[in-house]
A and B are shown apart, each in its own frame.
Chain A
Amino acid sequence: GQNIDQPTEMTATEGAIVQINCTYQTSGFNGLFWYQQHAGEAPTFLSYNVLDGLEEKGRFSSFLSRSKGYSYLLLKELQMKDSASYLCAALTGGGNKLTFGTGTQLKVEL
């Protein structure tokens, strides 16, 4: 089966850096996505990793280690608007099916 784990909740301070981890055990792995979801809204695409290493995009970076089944999302210079749920999703099954983790609810405080 497919299994994706991430912490349920995290709290961080405005202006700080936070790292959200994700571990996965899947079959037919084709890449790892991170999405941001605000309450009551649809997820928005943040990043995609298919090769090992770090992908940087502005304040957000994402890392992947395929051998360890591990990824993280790094958010720098946190802002209040970054308070949201962050979803880790693996592209699996040899096709284009996304399997989502349960999401990490991030709360940014003053």
Chain B
Amino acid sequence: GAVVSQHPSRVICKSGTSVKIECRSLDFQATTMFWYRQFPKKSLMLMATSNEGSKATYEQGVEKDKFLINHASLTLSTLTVTSAHPEDSSFYICSASTGGAQETQYFGPGTRLLVL
């Protein structure tokens, strides 16, 4: 149980274009989903917290107009990187929380974005 999928797993795009990444909880309803960014050999950096049906809460320093997050249902959240630039190239990982006392987060397999 507690499986989270991400699509696509890899994407290459041209500078200036937008890229959408999907995160789905396959066997549970996730009231909260999280988006992280990870640079090589670095730890995960929380970008934003997404609650179903409401606006995402962004961490300090993360541009909400550049990284658009939509949490349309209890099983789907999307991250759109708008007007991508080479410095946006990174490993983007989502997680979904099952809720309850433990608030364990289960992670998707990640999406590697390369902006040329």
Contact = CB atoms under 8 A, between A and B. Distances in A.
Contacts of A41: 109-110
B-side interface mostly: strand
Nearest to A44: B107
B46 A98 contact: yes
Interface string B99-115: 00011111111101000
A62 B54 CA distance: 36
Nearest to B108: A42
B49 interface: yes
B69 interface: no
B34 interface: yes
A48 B102 contact: yes
Interface residues on B, range: 20 to 34
B104 A43 contact: no
Contacts of B109: 41-42
Interface string B29-53: 0001010000001111110010000
B76 interface: no
Interface stretch (A12-20, A73-81, A100-108): A100-108
Given A45-B104, A96-B103, A102-B42, 17 more contacts: A35-B107, A40-B110, A40-B112, A42-B93, A43-B44, A43-B93, A43-B107, A45-B105, A50-B102, A96-B49, A98-B34, A98-B105, A99-B46, A100-B44, A100-B46, A101-B43, A103-B43
Interface of B: 32, 34, 41-46, 49, 91, 93, 97, 102-110, 112
User: Which 6 residue pairs spanning A and B have beta carbons closest together?
Assistant: A42-B107, A96-B103, A100-B43, A102-B43, A42-B110, A100-B44
Interface of A: 30-31, 33, 35, 40-45, 48, 50, 87, 91, 96-103, 105
